[in-house]
A and B are shown apart, each in its own frame.
Chain A
């Protein structure tokens, strides 16, 4: 049972490298033989000489980031990337989704497909394809979308989970909102679920919780990798309570994204702090879970600055009046949640707070909406750690912002010619806007 990763573009390759580093560090901790065995099988394969090689394909249109990632990986001494698992070109996509999707993607599809096929054939069982990319740039978003489309055609019954990084709202690239709109609307058709990280929230986590003064891209990526690894590392699940699950992505999807209209997943994680203060901190499960629950219903991304006044609508009013008006404005309604607990005494943790039907849409029974995974192994240096993967309304606001900004630009047809010259017409833009509006409306009227 293995996951094949796909690192697309600059962002995807950096996050991918961090992810494998975190996984390798975590698995090599003390007292975790079975855990390491399972994790190794999930993310690496062993060569005849006993080296661990990541089950990952690296794709970028520029060589720089990929060669950095490969060099850093082999320097770690614990693992490395495959010898022929990377694909790069000399010239980038120029932050243009259309250039990636219409030019680079089709031009290099065969080479990339071959690499992915090799990795997939190496697995005894493919648990799923996990892609990492940003939605703002050209290669990750454009080529990534194209590759996802091809993979969906080639492996129609495999799971495809896309991790996407949303750009800073202030903006790195002028056309980032166009790129985001085009990527998200396409991925929504293709992917089984889209796992979203927002640069802005991760950045605040770095500054407020980790106390980093000068935040670099690498710090941001480390936080993202930490959160991802806390989901993807081995755990006991409902389907396999005595062994580490052999179907992590399948079970993740089954518990969170069964409905084709609702595919956006957000992640939050507790605790997160700098390693210096970690040594002096003690956590208990009730405290952590109480915070995490409030983060969920108040749609906060970290444990600092949670709005404690938000509460779930009481059962009486929600039963009496059906619909949205009884709900508080800031209350964050969920479709489904997956809680992953790792560390000491997980069996004592009480998760009843998450089973409250008031947190969820009325048409789903709570046993369908909430599931828990556990692992007794301490994760990545944290004695206790809880992660919540959630299908809820919290991404509405940032998504709405992206669509609104892109629409404002599109209304004056700004930069559209940069896309039409590669074959994306205004119709395509309109279709994408419609698709995202549909998603927004679906989530609004949960």
Chain B
């Protein structure tokens, strides 16, 4: 089982590597390096470093003048990577800390892997690179820009009243027309080509079924006779195909990759306590992204999943119950669908009720737990910057509870309780109506509103 899983992960990572190299990111490591980086092995650090800096170079290549990263020293690379990462909003100590590491090994391969994951997940990076690459290879497939900017540029260059702008406008229009024409003709040719390939396929598969399976062989025979331009075109299309296939492959595998990245984060969190350095100034410490809520979140998600499952089974049971109830008695198809519609609404209302309740209990739990211990035992004040450890405590001044704050808290709590009461009432009402509707021949009239 686990072996199968590890094979799968390797496959996933290789598909990512393939895609990255297709997108012409430089120095891609092997899948093995990723695995070693997960366990924070020192030997993977160099590989991961060159991957990270390669990727960042590729992304920010347009913005920064520093091109040849290989020729530069580690210092320059480090400066670039650090600033690029903090630009992406990633802020672990080795990036934003006051003392930059002086050597690659100091960073740790896992930290590099995490940074890589961050960069990958922020803002459709791969989609952007893909679009850029495809635009390079496939110029006619995109609409011509109706260049508002261009005409304005002309106006700016020649002054608004100049006669030349009119001329230039017309030239531009004519050019756009020609470009559009070219594009339409290209589309026509594409469809003609498609037709031809369909026919060819039909002919070949009629002549000999085996020939269809070996397109490479027939292709190489032909290449002697065709022109170099066609060869180039073929190469271009093959490259395009390769990229798109790699992307597709990656998209299929992507969820697994993020699962694996989660496991990297988990292992990093598990190792964290003992290696946490003590001498970080408090300001930096708050920047460190830690998730003490991780477990809690996971628990909540699990809880929600369970709730969903329960609701679904409940719904199914009810539906069966309803169909057995209504179908033999009346046999109305419309009635059944109407009932399921109303049930759907009911379930939706219930779910939203649960969710709202969950939200409120989460917040109210904090408030209710918040002030009780203060009355009994004023704890030693926590350092204010450590809010990331959770439990935003009640505003306390030297362990005492202020009356106004308490009053506010109590009022809030009262509102919550009122709300819960109302919700329970509503649930009861709905439940009663449901039960009443199953009893035939009995009509319940709600009491008059006072």
Contacts and interface: CB of A to CB of B under 8 A. Distances in A.
A259 B187 contact: no
A322 B166 contact: yes
A211 interface: no
A8 B220 CA distance: 47
A250 B184 contact: yes
A258 B181 contact: yes
A106 interface: no
Given A254-B188, A259-B173, 12 more contacts: A125-B191, A125-B194, A126-B194, A127-B191, A250-B188, A250-B191, A254-B181, A258-B177, A258-B183, A259-B176, A260-B143, A363-B173
Nearest to A192: B184
Interface in A139-174: 156-159
A337 to B, nearest CB: 14
Interface residues of B, number: 27
A414 interface: no
Contacts of A212: none
Given A250-B184, A253-B184, A258 B191 contact: no
Interface string A176-209: 0000000000000000100000000000000000
A311 B174 CA distance: 25
Interface in B133-150: 141, 143-144, 146
Contacts of A192: 184
B396 interface: no
Given A124-B199, A260-B146, A363-B171, A368 B187 contact: no
Given A156-B141, A253-B184, A1 B195 contact: yes
Contact of B184 (A254, A361, A362, A364): A254
B180 interface: yes
Interface of A: 1, 124-127, 156-159, 192, 246-247, 250-251, 253-254, 257-261, 322, 361-364, 368
Contacts of B187: 157-159, 250
Interface of B: 141, 143-144, 146, 166, 170-171, 173-174, 176-181, 183-185, 187-188, 190-192, 194-195, 198-199
- In the complex, which of the residues B144, B187, B199 has the most CB atoms of chain A within 10 Å of its own CB atom? B187
Contacts of B199: 124
A247 B199 CA distance: 17
A10 to B, nearest CB: 25
A282 B310 CA distance: 80
A363 B170 contact: yes
The DSSP consensus for interface residues of chain A is loop
- In the complex, which of the residues A251, A253, A257 has the most CB atoms of chain B within 10 Å of its own CB atom? A253
Nearest to A255: B181
25 contacts: A124-B198, A124-B199, A125-B191, A125-B192, A125-B194, A125-B198, A127-B191, A156-B141, A157-B191, A159-B187, A254-B181, A254-B185, A257-B180, A258-B177, A258-B183, A260-B143, A260-B144, A260-B146, A260-B180, A261-B176, A363-B173, A363-B174, A364-B174, A364-B177, A368-B177
A180 to B, nearest CB: 23
Contacts of A157: 141, 187, 190-191
A122 to B, nearest CB: 12
Given A124-B198, A363-B174, A259 B190 contact: no
Nearest to B186: A157
Contacts of B166: 322
Contacts of B190: 157
Contacts of A125: 191-192, 194-195, 198
A361 B171 CA distance: 12
A257 B187 CA distance: 14
Contact of B177 (A126, A250, A259, A322): A259
Nearest to B173: A363
A258 B146 contact: no
A288 B237 CA distance: 49
Nearest to A159: B187
The 10 closest A-B pairs by CB, nearest first: A258-B180, A125-B195, A363-B170, A250-B188, A258-B181, A254-B184, A363-B174, A258-B177, A259-B177, A363-B173
Contacts of B179: 258
A253 B182 CA distance: 11
A260 B180 CA distance: 7
Nearest to A442: B146
A247 B173 contact: no
Given A158-B187, A258-B180, A362 B170 contact: yes
Nearest to B193: A125
A250 B182 CA distance: 11
A258 B188 CA distance: 13
B194 to A, nearest CB: 7
A359 to B, nearest CB: 16
Nearest to A189: B143
